Structure 1
Amino acid sequence: MKLKKSFLLVMVFILVTSILAGCMGGNNSTENNTETDKKAEKKSLVVYSNSLSDGRGDWLTQKAAEAGFELKLVEAGGGDLLNRIVAEKNKPLADVVFGLNQMNFETLKSNDILVPFEPKWKNELPEGSSDKENFYQPLVEQRIIMLYNKDVYTEETAPKDWTDLIENEEYKGKYHVPINLGGATNQAVVNGILMRYLDENGDLGVSEEGWKALKTFFDNGYKTPEGENNNANLASGKVPISFIYSSGLPGIEEEFGFEAGIVSPKIGVPTLVEQIGIVNKGKDHDTQTAEEFVNWFGSTEIQGAWAEQFGTLPVNEKALEKASDKMKSIFENTTVQDIDYTFISEHINDWIEKIELEIF
């Protein structure tokens, strides 16, 4: 009898042990499955932008990864990026595009390349700053500013407007001119000049006087050769007048160890507003991940951190508090030039072609 009881106890022990082992094995399996699920949950996106330089791309990739996004970034100049997106219309690769200006996004919208989406942070934007149909939303304001080297010019002797470069021989060869109109900043300089000479009876909507003025601007300017740097020339005084988008100013001052003077024309400065939108990849494409990314990237927290890191001027009014004193000063001491971006979007490609063929 004792032997039988012992045998039963052994069998019970083996059975209990097997059950416990099975449970423990089940827990490990669950944990492994959870880890696999987490990896599978990584939200992948292709993001196109012309605003990834100076460490922005690396910063965005890291921060987005922390938030659960796996980004493939594609960078190009504003004009080149716009052309690429339009060319890919029938087989789009991008999920989200940001950094292009309001004129560029209007072109994307008119080509049915965007899908409407109203982000959670829209109520933190200034009234009237968004696209009325929510095809794109503003992120960052960039004022295109003329700079001068304070060791060469004083506030009194420096040019007061772009027209001074055209009309005064004393500035001949002293300012750099864009030699590639593929980027939004370079295009903005041209647009800011041509908008002063609009004529419905003129060539491509611009008067003969306007085209002559633009030609003089390019002829008298310094075309930076390969191997030289515009900002280095500005800092050294070799070419003491230049231009840049506002958020790029702190970086070049720090890199080259100088403080630039800022020209504030009475007519105002060309101003670009970087936007963000979701690419139309067809009715059957799920845009949930793209929407989540837009909600994340445009939020007060991320745009505030972006402003602190890269000296930008956020459109998000709550994030604006994080802007540097330098950016706030530029914002307060320059005004926005009145520019018809709808008119420009209709003519910019023809303008660039004419400039490249007849003026460069």
Structure 2
Amino acid sequence: MKKTWLLIVALVFSLVLTACGGNQDSSEGAAKGKDKSLVIYTNSGSDGRGDWLKEKAAEQGFKIEIVEAGGGDIRNKLIAEKANPIADVVYGLNEMNYIALKNEGVLEAFTPVWADEVEAGTSDPEGYYHSLVKQAILLIYNSDLYTEETAASDWPELWENKAFHGLYEVPTNLGGDTTRTVIAGILVRHQDPNGELGISAEGWEEIEKFFDNGTPATEGTPFYANLANGTTPFGQMFSSGIQQREEEYGVKAGIVSPEIGVPYVIEQVAIVKGTKKKEVAEEFINWFGSADVQAEWAKEFNSMPTNIEAAKSANPEVKALHESVTKQDMDWEFITENIDAWIEKITLEIQ
């Protein structure tokens, strides 16, 4: 009886060890199809993106959990969790966030199989993050109410011309990448090494006028609803978000193309350092960033891939939009060093 009991205990212990073996090297188990679950952080899961990605990834055997928040919030979360990471992969976000994450030691270097297929200079040269999508961060207007001639020609005209006062939406939540990029695009025009936080006094006056003369975003009411009904016929939007919202709200957006250009951001993908699913994360990124998948993503969500082959599949309207604007010169290293302090100053002193 005692021997029988010992045999049962040994058998149970053996089964437990077998089950736990995947935890000891979960990425190896995943690569063999035993566990392909991943936690993915992103700021790019809205408008059906997250659901689409879950479905398509499941077809490849992945089981992904998506955690979505604003780009700056995702970055802060990853840094806070650095000692005990929860996420395995991060995608979306823009350069200033990835530079910060790299500098904080949050990312794991890795070279995807498609790394040489994307536009030169769009990924991290040291391999910590790799480009997926280009986004133009735009000032748009309701084209039923304004024409190219009557609309504001650049952001400053909105507060310099009283005719536009109260007619553009200003953000109340400063955690999102689009908002932070708009603010950075205004402030870097007034870069001054002797100024407060690297910005001249004139620059801070401009950003104060920006907030003072606009209409604060209404909680629970999408910007496009107010764009369509004329409450705030001007405001910010990322390029891939326009076409779907035009169809949803029945309004055609006019695109402002300032002489100085518009901010361009490159959404990236990276592995979180310390993940226990490194091999699965690599497999996922190799799949997600491939030309075929990015071509599907481009068609579905009106994006402009950095993958040269996938970009050929971008929707014609998207190609035309990107051809209609020029890129603003942005010093992302400078912006990364200062963006948090800028946001803090705006939150405490200006908003």
Whole-Å Cα distance in 1 between the matches of residues 112 and 283 of structure 2?
9
Q: Is residue 2:218 matched to residue 1:189?
A: no
Structure 1 segment 3-152 matched on structure 2, within 5 A: 41-152=34-145
Q: How far does the alpha carbon of each residue in 1:314-354 deviate from its partner, in whole angstroms, 9 at most, with x for none?
A: 01010001111111011100011000010011011110000
Q: Which digits, 9 at most, give the CA deviation of each residue in 1:87-143, with x for residues without a partner?
A: 000110111000011111111111111111111111111122221110100000110
Structure 2 CA distance for partners of 1:251 and 1:204, relative to 1, 3 Å:
same
Structure 1: which 5+ runs fail to align?
1-36
Match among 339, 342, 351 for residue 333 of structure 2 = 342
> Would the alpha carbon gap of residues 132 and 69 (structure 1) be closer, same or farther in structure 2, given more than 3 Å must change?
same
Quote how far apart the aligned CAs of 1:40 are: 5.7
Work out whether residues 123 and 130 of structure 2, in 8 Å CA contact, stay in contact via their aligned partners in 1: yes
Checking the alignment, whether the CA contact within 8 Å between 1:151 and 1:237 is kept in structure 2 is no
Contact 1:43-1:70 at 8 Å conserved across structures: yes
Matches within 5 A, 1:214-293: 214-281=207-274, 285=276, 287-293=278-284
| Partner residue in 1 for 2:12 | none
Tell me what 1:310 maps to. 301
SS of equivalent to 2:308: coil
Three-state SS of the structure 1 residue aligned to 2:169 is: coil
Q: Which amino acid aligns with 1:307?
A: A
What SS does the corresponding residue of 1:267 show, helix, strand or coil?
A: coil
Q: Identify which of 202, 207, 223 aligns with 2:195.
A: 202
Aligned with residue 172 of structure 2, among 147, 172, 179: 179
Contact kept? 2:33, 2:61, Cα under 8 Å: no
SS at match of 2:83: coil
The separation in 1 between residues aligned to 2:31 and 2:123, in whole angstroms, is: 35
Opposite residue 224 of structure 1, the aligned amino acid is A
Instruction: Provide the residue aligned with 1:211 in structure 2.
Output: 204
CA distance in 2, matches of 1:67, 1:225: 40
Partner amino acid for 1:187? R
1:164-191: CA deviation from partner (whole Å, max 9, x where unpaired) = 1121111100111111110000101100
Contact 1:46 / 1:96 at 8 angstroms: preserved in 2? yes
The letter of the residue matching 1:357 is: L
* TM-score, reference length from structure 2: 0.89
Shift in CA distance, 227/281, structure 1 to aligned 2, threshold 3 Å: closer
Higher Rg of the two aligned structures: 1
Q: Which moved more, 1:223-232 or 1:347-356?
A: 223-232
Counterpart-to-counterpart distance in 1, 2:331 and 2:31: 48
Q: Secondary structure at the match of 1:199?
A: strand
Aligned residues: 322
Q: Secondary structure at the match of 2:44?
A: coil
Moved runs in structure 1, 4+ residues, more than 6 A? none
User: How many Å separate the matches in 2 of 1:135 and 1:256?
Assistant: 39
Cα separation, partners in 2 of 1:227 and 1:123, compared to 1, 3 Å: closer
Does the Cα contact within 8 Å between 2:91 and 2:269 map onto a contact in 1? Answer: yes
CA distance in 1, matches of 2:194, 2:170: 28
Which residue, out of 306, 312, 320, partners 1:321?
312
Q: What is the percent sequence identity of the aligned residues?
A: 51
Relative to the length of structure 1, the TM-score reads: 0.87
**Match for 1:324: what amino acid?**
N
What is the correspondence of 1:160-171 to structure 2 with a 5 Å cutoff? 160-171=153-164
Q: Tell me the alpha carbon deviations over residues 61-92 of structure 1, each in whole angstroms, 9 at most, x when there is no partner.
A: 01000001110111111111110000000110
Residue deviations 1:197-232 (CA, integer Å, cap 9, x gap) = 111111111111110111011000011233433111
Structure 2 runs not aligned, ≥5 long: 1-29
Q: Secondary structure at the match of 1:318?
A: helix
**SS in structure 1 opposite 2:124?**
coil
Could you say what the CA RMSD is over the residues aligned between the two structures, in angstroms? Answer: 1.5
Query: C-alpha distance in 2, partners of 1:172/1:229?
Result: 20
